């Protein structure tokens, strides 16, 4: 397809970080219980990013009935757990997807839907669509096909449930841990002045997901170039709710 050599990236090891509290039996039991419940209650963000969304109504409605496994559609990103990228993403949509993704509350999961999210699929030579979803936001699972059948959608949801139940679906932590890499890819596409209203670094700091990859070359650019000053935000975030970046 391309004679250009693909860019080799370090694939970060996606695994659950062990914190001190996790050693206590009580926390472990509670975490286990929480994971159990998370896996059985999944709200899907109502966002039809592409043509794959046409197979979601059959999946939700009477014939396949997603609600019987606890999956239901949700309207706003604030409440949603799953972001279904239903097919190709135009560059304009990708911006909204990233905004929506950052507004969703962790733990959050992304499912790439159809071949277009994996490698451009049918639109591999289109100037308008993004070729690889996982460069811009961490995707937990992909469904191959154009377009995937409702059965495939259900299958992947069940697989996601298994992963959540086992504590393995941690793509969202990867976004905090390697924010610099994701932001770099986003900046390469949208230009260097790209920024979102959600302050991911501050969130990472506040909730303890700061890692080596969170800040770097690209986030420095954010500091320098953005039309608002990140450095005016205090280093520590003593209160909840202070994790938003101030606008001038």
Partner 1 sequence: MSIPAKLNDVLHEMPGIKVRMMNERRVRVDLSPDTLPALLEILKGRLGYCHLSAISCVDWVQTDQFELVYHVWSHMLKTMVSAHIFISRQPGQFISVYDIHAPAGFFERDIHEMFGVHFEGAPNLNKFILTSWGGPPPMLKSFNTREYVEKTFDWVQYSPDWLKDIEAKGGGID
Partner 2 sequence: MMSYVADFIFMPLIAFVTGLGLVLMARRVRAKIERRVGPPVLQPIYDIVKLYAKKTQISHGIMHDLSIMMLLGGFITAEIFLPVPGFDGLAGEGDLITLIYIMMVPMLGLALGVGSCANPNGSIGISRALTAMLAYDIPFIIAVTGACMAYGTTNLIEIVQIQQAGGPASWGAATMPLLAFGGLLAVHGMMGKEPFEIYIAPAEIATGPMVEMSGKYMGALFIMQCFQLYTIGVIYTTLFLGGGENWPFFLAKVFAVVFISVAVTNVYGRFKTDTMIRWMWKWPTGIALAGLALVMAN
Partner 3 sequence: MRPENYRPVKHPPSHEYELYFGPNHPGIEGNYAIRVRLKGDVIIEAIADGGYLHRGFEKIMEERLWIQNVALVPRICVPDPVPMEETYSRAVEMIGGLEVPVRAQWIRVMLLEMSRICAHLFTFGGNAATIGLYTNMFWGVTMRDYFLDLFEEVTGARIYHMFITPGGVRRDLPEGFLGRLGNLLDELERRMPEFEDLFFESAVVINRASGIGIISQEQALSWGVTGPNLRACDLPIDLRRDDPYLVYPELEFDVVTVEGGDALARMMARRGEVIQSIRILRQIIARLPSIGGAIRSPLPNPLAWNLPVGEAYARTESSKGETAFYIVSDGGPRPYRVHVRGPSSMHAVQVLEKLLIGARIEDIAQIMFSLDACPPEVDR
Nearest to residue 180, comparing CAs of 10, 8, 4? Answer: 10
DSSP-derived secondary structure letter, 148 = P
228 binds partner 2 (CB under 8 A): no
**Which of partner 2, partner 3, partner 1, none does residue 38 bind (CB under 5 to 8 Å by kind)?**
partner 2
13 binds partner 1 (CB under 8 A): no
Over the window 102 to 121, marking each residue x when it contacts partner 1 by CB under 8 A and - when it does not, the resulting string is ----------------xxx-
Considering only 48, 90, 106, 211, the residue that binds partner 2 (CB under 8 A) is 106
DSSP string, 189-219: HH-TT---SS-HHHHHHHHT---TTTSSHHH
What's the rounded Cα separation, in Å, for the pair 175 and 138? 6
Phi/psi for 238 (5° steps) reads -65, -35
Considering only 11, 19, 26, 68, the residue that binds partner 2 (CB under 8 A) is 68
DSSP string, 60-93: HSTTT-GGGGTEEEESSTTT-SEEEEES-EEHHH
Over the window 172 to 191, marking each residue x when it contacts partner 1 by CB under 8 A and - when it does not, the resulting string is -----------------xxx
What's the rounded Cα separation, in Å, for the pair 130 and 133? 7
Whose Cβ is closer to partner 1: residue 7's or residue 25's?
7
Considering only 100, 157, 203, 221, the residue that binds partner 2 (CB under 8 A) is 203
**Which of partner 2, partner 3, partner 1, none does residue 228 bind (CB under 5 to 8 Å by kind)?**
none
Considering only 107, 120, 184, 216, the residue that binds partner 2 (CB under 8 A) is 107
Q: Note the residues at the interface with partner 3 (CB under 8 A).
A: 45-51, 53-55, 57-58, 61-63, 75-77, 88, 90, 92-93, 96, 100, 103, 122-123, 125-129, 146-147, 149, 197-199, 241-242, 244-247
Alpha helices in the chain (DSSP H): 25-40, 56-60, 91-103, 115-119, 150-165, 171-177, 179-190, 200-207, 217-225
* Strand 42-45 with 71-74, pairing: parallel
Segment interacting with partner 1 (CB under 8 A) among 5-13, 14-22, 80-88, 225-233: 5-13
- Shortest reach from residue 1's CB to partner 1, in Å: 6
């Amino acid at each position: 397809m391309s004679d250009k050599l693909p860019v080799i990236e370090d694939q970060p090891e996606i695994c659950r970080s062990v914190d001190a509290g996790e050693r206590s039996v009580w926390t472990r039991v509670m975490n286990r219980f929480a994971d159990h419940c998370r896996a059985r209650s999944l709200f899907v963000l109502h966002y039809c990013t592409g043509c794959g969304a046409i197979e979601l109504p059959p999946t939700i409605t009477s014939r396949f009935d997603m609600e019987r496994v606890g999956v239901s559609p949700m309207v706003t990103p604030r409440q949603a757990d799953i972001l279904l990228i239903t097919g190709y993403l135009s560059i304009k949509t990708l911006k909204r997807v990233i905004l929506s993704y950052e507004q969703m509350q962790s733990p959050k999961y992304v499912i790439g839907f159809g071949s277009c999210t994996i490698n451009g699929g049918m639109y591999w030579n289109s100037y308008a669509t993004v070729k690889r979803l996982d460069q811009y936001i961490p995707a937990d699972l992909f469904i191959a096909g154009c377009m995937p059948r409702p059965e495939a959608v259900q299958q992947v949801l069940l697989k996601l449930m298994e992963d959540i139940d086992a504590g393995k679906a941690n793509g969202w932590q990867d976004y905090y841990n390697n924010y610099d890499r994701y932001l770099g890819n986003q900046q390469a596409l949208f230009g260097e002045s790209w920024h979102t209203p959600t302050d991911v670094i501050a969130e990472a700091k506040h909730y303890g997901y700061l890692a080596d990859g969170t800040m770097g070359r690209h986030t420095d650019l954010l500091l320098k170039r953005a039309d608002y000053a990140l450095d005016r935000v205090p280093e520590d975030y003593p209160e909840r709710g202070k994790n938003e970046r101030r606008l001038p």
